[in-house]
Amino acid sequence: MVVLEFSIVPLGVGESVSPFVARCVEIVAASGLEYQLHAMGTLVEGELRELLDLLEKCMNAVAADCPRVTCSAKFDSRPGKQGLLKAKVQSVEAKVSGPVRTSL
């Protein structure tokens, strides 16, 4: 399984980018893959090919109305592992001496 963290930023469309983020979140949600939105990007868990296809769909959706689009993406591959979005956090929580904030 692979975890993708990505952030797509449209350029030349003004200061607020939330409408473009919303487009991407709708695409991610429709994929059926496990995901988490956070303040600086989105985490998605799946197979590499489906994550690459998803990233391309999101890039194309944002590029449809923008003169320029940038994307930052990180991939973490752990063959044979599933549930990584929760497991990675739980692993750290088990090692710290106090509560860990995972949401506001």
**Tokens at residue 12, please?**
């030349």
pLDDT at residue 97, as a whole number:
84
User: What are the φ and ψ backbone dihedral angles of 41, each rounded to 5 degrees?
Assistant: 165, -165
Please give the pLDDT value at position 102.
Answer: 78
Which domains can be identified in the chain, with CATH numbers?
2-93 (3.30.70.930)
pLDDT of residue 81: 86
Q: What are the respective helix, strand and coil percentages of the chain, to the nearest 5?
A: 40, 30, 30
pLDDT in tens, the chain (104 residues): 999 999 999 999 988 999 999 999 999 999 999 999 999 999 999 999 999 999 999 999 999 999 999 999 999 999 888 888 888 888 888 899 877 887 77
In the three-class reduction of DSSP (H, G, I as helix; E, B as strand; rest coil), residue 61 is classed as helix
d(CA 20, CA 5): 17
Structure tokens that stand for 28 in this block = 């991610």
Provide the pLDDT for residue 11: 94
Q: How many C-beta neighbours within 10 Å does residue 60 have?
A: 11
pLDDT of residue 95: 92
Please report the pLDDT score of residue 64 as a whole number.
95
For the whole prediction, is pTM greater than 0.85?
A: yes
Q: Which helix (H) or strand (E) holds 4?
A: strand 2-11
Per-residue tokens: 99 = 């509560």
